[in-house]
Structure 1
Amino acid sequence: MTRSYLSIIGIFLSISIFAQDNVTKSYEYFNEGIIFYKEKYFNTAIRYYTKAIDLNEEYPKAYYYRANCKLKLKEYDSAVKDFKLAIKYDEQFAKAHLYKGYAQMQLKEYDKSLASFEDALDLDPKLAKAHLNKGTVLMKQKKYDSAINSLTKSISFNDQQATAYYNRGICQSRVKKYNEAIRDYGSAIEIKPSITGAYVARAKAYLKVEKFEEAITDLNKLIRKKANNADFYYSRGCAKLAINDYNGANTDFSAALNIKP
């Protein structure tokens, strides 16, 4: 009886030690994956995260980081599956809900993505990116007032997001709040001067409120960056025409016509 009891204990200890060894090795593979992830070797990182999962299938962070690698590789369907597994093993993983929603947004599964963003915000109401992505989806759905509300919340939690200002500016333009849009485009440009779309949108908003000189200034910058864009010349021509610069307008209209589509 004693020998049998000791044998059972021995077997149990062996299993426990083996399981612990697996968990330890799983962490090692995970950390290797992090190194490759930071170096942007995403396929290699995926292999290490997979090894970690093979040894410890209830490892939410391994699924999460493997999913993020797949996002970088634009493998959105597969990323969604991994984010779901991360959530299965940790339902309180707010960022897994967030980035699952982002992958769904890239797949144009807008209603599903909104549900994921709401789940993320239920867990962390101050998650600025969740508000940003929710606002972006609402913008794509042409629900501009709701989008503005979400983007405003995002900015309240992180006021250094150029994309949040830019997208809110687009929504302001869609509801004909051009002066508000101009301010948002300006904020986006201040944070990220390379955001060409904000210059384009601001120039168009300036034209709407008849601030022609300001529009010309933005269009000058755009033409210096991209001299083969007919729309830039055409818009600048319209602005020059409005301030009675007929020669300048004629030159710009001619330039627009001479650019091959």
Structure 2
Amino acid sequence: AAAQKEKEAGNASYKKKDFETAIQHYTKALELDDEDISYLTNRAAVYIEMGKYDECIEDCDKAVERGRELRADFKMVARALTRKGTALAKLAKNSKDYDIAIETFQKALTEHRNPDTLKRLNEAEKAKKDLEQQEYYDPKLADEEREKGNEMFKQQKYPEAIKHYNEAIRRNPKDARVYSNRAACYTKLGAMPEGLKDAEKCIELDPTFTKGYTRKGAVQFFMKEYEKAMETYQAGLKYDPNNQELLDGIRRCVEQINKANRGDISQEDLQEKQSKAMQDPEIQNILTDPIMRQVSSNLSSL
């Protein structure tokens, strides 16, 4: 009972951010009762707030060890592991340090699947990824890989070019030019969804870089989405009104749209257009409307 009173006093001091006093109360609680690991986990939480991560880790290790001996509630053991993982993540300076923190969070989750622990695990994994990216970042090497990719592209060795562009992106993920170049490769290989994604990323990184619009428009044109392609080319002209590639793209789109309006379209193209239309969510919504279904039924009976 006396230990519990010390714990409550420690909690009150913790809420007031009087951490030194909170430490004293939790330490006293431990002296009065060593069979409740919450005094250790609470003191560990205070150490985190104070930036004393080594002390936090020490308390958490003691809590886990003592918790196993006492067959304590698995939630309490998970809490100790989560706080240890938090301290380890705070101390992390390289990817290997983050690996230890991540492993600790994973152990905590095997004890008890707590949303807070899962959140901290995700944060540690993201921090590790960001750190690795920073360590790998090298614009000069990125440019070298991009040039190698360009050379492979000229030789029509598109898969090899993509490998170099991939490495360039890993070295410098903010270079819009590489996404534009890789989009061109994907288009040559007929991988239209990948090409479209890269072109959109290129535009996102640098909206004034017109190559992104020509790449995106080309993919949409090959996918026979002429209206969308024309919109893309027009968007690019806002930044470069005299760009010949964009103007030629619009001209080609107008030609194809006019052909379709005149009915000058092959049966294969017509079937493909109808198939795409049926997959459009807006058209599906229209067709599922009760009134439209009745109209269709009446037409089919004529």
State the TM bucket, normalised to the shorter chain: 0.3 to 0.5
Report which of the two structures shows the higher radius of gyration computed on alpha carbons. 2
